[in-house]
Amino acid sequence: MNDPQPKSVLAPELLPASIAIFTLVGLSAFNSLGVSAALPNLAADLGNLDLLPWVVTVYLLMAGVATVVAGALIDSVGLRFIFRFSVGAFVLGSFMAGLAGSMVLLIGARVMQGLGGGGVIAVGLAGVNLLFPKHLVGRAFAANSTVWGVMGVAGPALAAFLLSFASWHWIFFVNVPFGLVSLAAGWKVMPGPVGLRSGRILDLLGLAMVFAFNVLLLFAVNAFDRWSAWLFVGSVSIAMVYLWHARRQAEPVMKRRHLIDPPFGLLAWSISLLLAGGIATESFFTLYVRGARGGSQTLTGWAVVFFVVGWTIGSNASSRMLDRLAETSTIVTGFGITLIGLGSVATMAAVDAPLPFVFAGMAVVGTGLGMATNAGLTLLQSITAVDESGRATAAHQFYRNLGFTVGAATGGAVILFVVGRRLGDVDAVRSLLAGSSDVTDQKGAAAIADGFALAVAIGLGLGLAGLIPLGYLRKSLSEARTIANVTRRQHPRYVP
């Protein structure tokens, strides 16, 4: 065939798919930012402050499990069906959340929204591999990050506008029309399955183990107490049983080789550990700015922008670097930049450096993470067989979700642990997180600063640990690339 290759992800033949995928990325980004901004309003309006953390946690939990399910089903029933179901569930969950009149009903709606959101993530990752030609894969992932970055800048302003001139309900309602736009754009262009698969469509026992693992691990890292060690042992035990189970299943919900075998396992572990280190820092940076440095509400709201802008810059730089460098070299560069950024932020937080310098450090952290994760996704697509795109990308995203969840939970646990030891209780920080107090006293501010500095230092350690699997990655890439290239020649594009 002599058909010219599209030169851009916005080329006419790719435009409907791009609109569908990039709109979903924007919705996912705004969902995270908007809900975080609305937490104080939710607490004030709905009460039940003890349930407030579950507004975020239950979404992360359900999204992590749904991503795994969607990845397996993409390989079985095709991208088209999963796209339609996931976007529909996300839109319905958003509408239900906007109507919620109690914290319990809101959490129930977030379960539905998380199921859709997890499927949306799987669709976005697998769709890039299945819909875009190989030479545009890096550009497509960079475009995803750009949309996410734009929403990182515009999202706080939009959330503030909705909260000021409407209500927290519209943080959820605004997802509905944009979700329908994505659904309309991608309704016909998303591909169906290639070939037939035998056996069960979904490994229900394996899925139950994945869910149990997520729950136990989440509670294990959520606080440093006497139950944490036992919960962690339980999660590890379930992981071992699942690997034994996956070896004996023809179509497990996640394949063993995508989880632990080289090169897939090495790539996933390295990126996950780096993300955990970065997110342990980013998740509580606003708390540091507000509680430790006395930043205004406006300054605190915009503090996260530096990290987001850095991530966007790193992702786009990565897509250009991949034209000249190997994916592994780009990942290593991203690691180095991230670790330098984490080290600088930990040092500056410990010595109360001027905030502009700390903001610059956060931008460096974001740049390194954007560079490494974008190159990691591009490398994953180059070593993945076409008929395993769903499972491979879902397994990789499963590790990324673990990095996000463990990083956020660990950072919060470290800060609360330090504050609790210094002050005897953590009520001041909990009130600050809930929005019921604006400032802390000098002693509390110092405790938050020290807790944040320690959390960043631990994040640096997690990032350094990610270098270990990364060091063994290159040796295992050749065979995987060969297998992936053979499947692409056989099925260069899915046929709708």
Q: Is 78 left (phi over 0), alpha (psi -120 to 50) or beta?
A: left
pLDDT (0 to 100) of residue 200: 53
Alpha carbon separation from 97 to 7, 45, 101, 478 (Å, rounded): 40, 14, 9, 47
pLDDT beyond 90 at 146: no
Q: Is 351 left (phi over 0), alpha (psi -120 to 50) or beta?
A: alpha
Average of per-residue pLDDT across 373-391: 84
Residue 103: name the closest of 42, 166, 193, 16 by CA: 42
Core vs surface per residue 266-287: b (16+ CB within 10 A) or e: bbbbbbbbbbbbbbbbbbbbbb
Residue 64: name the closest of 262, 273, 254 by CA: 254
Residue 232 or residue 330, greater confidence: 330
Is the previous residue joined to 496 through a cis bond, with omega within 30 degrees of 0? no
Helix and strand element counts for the chain (H, E): 21, 0
Q: Which CATH architecture has domain 13-195?
A: Up-down Bundle (1.20)
Model pLDDT for residues 187-223, shown as the tens digit of each residue:
988 887 754 454 456 788 998 999 899 888 877 766 5
Model pLDDT for residues 435-465, shown as the tens digit of each residue:
445 555 778 788 889 999 999 999 999 999 9
Model pLDDT for residues 257-267, shown as the tens digit of each residue:
889 998 999 99
Model pLDDT for residues 99-145, shown as the tens digit of each residue:
998 889 999 999 999 999 888 888 888 888 788 887 787 788 878 77
Give residue limits of the domains in the chain. Answer: 13-195, 254-496
Domain 13-195 shares a fold with domain 254-496: yes
pLDDT beyond 70 at 426: no
Q: What average pLDDT is seen over the chain? A: 83
* pLDDT bucket at 418, cuts 50 / 70 / 90: confident
- DSSP letters spanning 383-415: TS-GGGHHHHHHHHHHHHHHHHHHHHHHHHHHH
Core vs surface per residue 301-334: b (16+ CB within 10 A) or e: bbbbbbbbbbbbbbbbbbbebbeeeebbebbbbb
pLDDT (0 to 100) of residue 223: 56
Average of per-residue pLDDT across 225-246: 88
Residue 24 or residue 200, greater confidence: 24
Class of domain 254-496: mainly alpha
Residue 167 or residue 56, greater confidence: 167
Asked whether 374 and 138 are in contact (CB, 8 A), the reply is yes
d(CA 108, CA 143): 32
d(CA 452, CA 446): 10
Alpha carbon separation from 123 to 83, 114, 120, 136, 244 (Å, rounded): 6, 14, 5, 17, 28
Residues in the chain: 496
Helices within 78-201 (DSSP H only): 79-99, 103-131, 137-165, 169-173, 175-186
Model pLDDT for residues 301-323, shown as the tens digit of each residue:
677 778 888 988 898 888 889 88
